[in-house]
Structure 1
Amino acid sequence: MTPYDIFPLQHLGDEFIGFIVLLALSSERLLVIMTILPATADNVMKGPMRSGAAAVWCLFVAGGQQALMPQLHGAFLVITCAKEAVIGLVLGIAASTVFWAAEAIGTYVDDLAGFNNVQMQNPSSGTQTSLMATLFGQLTIASFWMLGGMTFLLGALYESYAWWPLGSFDPVPAPLLEAFAQARIDMLMNMVARIATPMMAMLLLVDLGLAFVSRSAQKLDLMSVSQPLKGAIAVLIVAVLAGSFVSEMRGQISLAGLAQQIKQLAGH
């Protein structure tokens, strides 16, 4: 090999390194989403697997952004990394709301049944949560994968590059961010109230029934069996309404409307 042959190889190596940097930058948005999303969290998908999946899914995104390779250094690279992380954070919060609502519903049911002091390790998050919260969380994660939620999530992600291009620094107006945050909170509270209200009514009727019976037969200490009875009824209600929960929340669990929500946030 002559010295003249080294320069093309060196140029090829620089191009390869530049493309790897571009690929890492292109996959950052999805990687942040997958880190926040309970269905792809650390205990569900380990770090190397999650990083590899994000790189594969964003490979053709990087292929279409090769014009940015000469600019990927210095302040431009730092600012772009920060911007991509913020966009991924917003998309991750938008996609994770339904999972947080499911766990909140389970926690609320356990509070009403009196079993909130019984905690177990959540296999998806690794934190201590109540029994029903863990059950609802796992049900939502399983439904997300079975309903093709990842397909809708990737569709929304790819469309977001049209609204927020990789090399663009156009800010999102503050009123839109405020409206987005308020809509996420409203959606969370609405889902919790809509799903947990029938369970709350049933458990309240159990308490009222036992109170009336105890007042009529004061020698019977029926209130001591109130908590086990409410726990059994709560499990029965969850078993009966699990299918209705998935059917009612099908659109939110599969993230079918996520792209439209993000489009509104982007002002398009």
Structure 2
Amino acid sequence: MNDIFSVLPDLGNFLVGYVTLTGVCSLRLFMVMFIFPPTADGLLQGVVRNAIVVLFSSYIAYGQPIAFIQTLRGITLIEVGLREALIGVALGYAASIVFWVAEGAGTYIDDLTGYNNVQVMNPSRSEQATPTATLLMQIASVAFWALGGMTFLLGTLYESYHWWPLTSSGPSMSNVLESFVLQQTDSLMQTIAKLAAPMMFILLLIDFGFGFASKSASKLDLMTLSQPVKGAVTVLMLALFVGVFVDQVKEQITLSGLTAEMRALSGGHQGKPD
């Protein structure tokens, strides 16, 4: 009996260490799911999302060496936690680009049609957005789940532990994040412009047409008719545009190329153990 009680303190320390390790391993996936629009608060509530994070992160914690658990103290714990959170932010940012592109293109279209003052509740993020932006965001989110994008997202997450293990210091975070943010921000704005350009061009032609018509018939206030016409044309174009959008960005929505992108970001670097 005394031997059993003498083992209990060691068992308690082991359980505390394993819970700490599981929490550290959960940071990477938690940050991804916190940023990623299809797994935002409006779609996955906090308790459900946290349970999913702990479930999939427990496999990572199970594969860590016992010696690493003993090093999770003080400054080392803070350093590893911050590093894991930053890696999760990078993964979540890269995975969310195509969804922000869809929302940004919808906002551009609503600005040009004159419906930017109409705000509806975006159910995926519990905030207000323009109607077309909300529609395109929801279409992208549905396509992500329907096309099996979560499988690729988890594959990229687990692959990230291969090129940047939990026990490795990895490359310089400041240099990686600086180049990553600049590259992804440029790509985001360029893709929004390219995606919205065809519809914006047609809507501008409608504005020019009504402008010339109202100039030749000055007694008729034709410009007041341009907004409903642009709204009707936008609805018609969206009906044709949605299928093309999903087909063109299918690879980005399902995140099938995210693994290679993040591996290139790390420079194929295999971090040396701390």
Same fold (TM over 0.5): yes
Asked whether the 8 Å contact 1:214–1:220 carries over to 2, the reply is yes
1:137-152 paired onto structure 2 within 5 Å: 137-152=137-152
Aligned to 2:116: 116
SS at structure 2 position matched to 1:128: strand
Alpha-carbon distance between aligned partners in 2 of 1:33 and 1:95, rounded to the nearest angstrom = 8
Structure 1 residues not aligned, in runs of 5+: none
Shift of 1:217: 2.7
SS at structure 1 position matched to 2:120: strand
Shift of 1:176: 4.2
Aligned to 2:161: 161
Structure 2 residues not aligned, in runs of 5+: 269-274
1:1-268 paired onto structure 2 within 5 Å: 2-67=1-66, 68-172=68-172, 174-268=174-268
Asked whether the 8 Å contact 1:19–1:66 carries over to 2, the reply is no
Alpha-carbon distance between aligned partners in 2 of 1:152 and 1:74, rounded to the nearest angstrom = 35
Shift of 1:192: 1.0
Alpha-carbon distance between aligned partners in 1 of 2:31 and 2:117, rounded to the nearest angstrom = 33
Give the partner amino acid of 1:256: S
Cα root mean square deviation, aligned: 1.5
Shift of 1:171: 3.2
Between 1:121-130 and 1:210-219, the stretch displaced more is 210-219
Give the partner amino acid of 1:149: G
Shift of 1:77: 1.0
What TM-score does the superposition give when structure 2 sets the normalisation length? 0.92
Asked whether the 8 Å contact 2:171–2:266 carries over to 1, the reply is no
Shift of 1:202: 1.1
Alpha-carbon distance between aligned partners in 1 of 2:179 and 2:221, rounded to the nearest angstrom = 52
Superposed structure 1 runs of 4+ greater than 4 Å apart: 173-176
SS at structure 1 position matched to 2:85: helix
Shift of 1:175: 4.8
Change (3 A) 1:180 1:40: same
Change (3 A) 1:176 1:24: closer
Q: For 1:8-42, what per-residue CA distance to the aligned partner results, in whole angstroms no more than 9, with x for missing partners? A: 34333332222121111111100011001111111
Identity %: 45
Give the partner amino acid of 1:4: D
SS at structure 2 position matched to 1:246: helix
Number of matched residues?
Answer: 267
Give the partner amino acid of 2:59: F
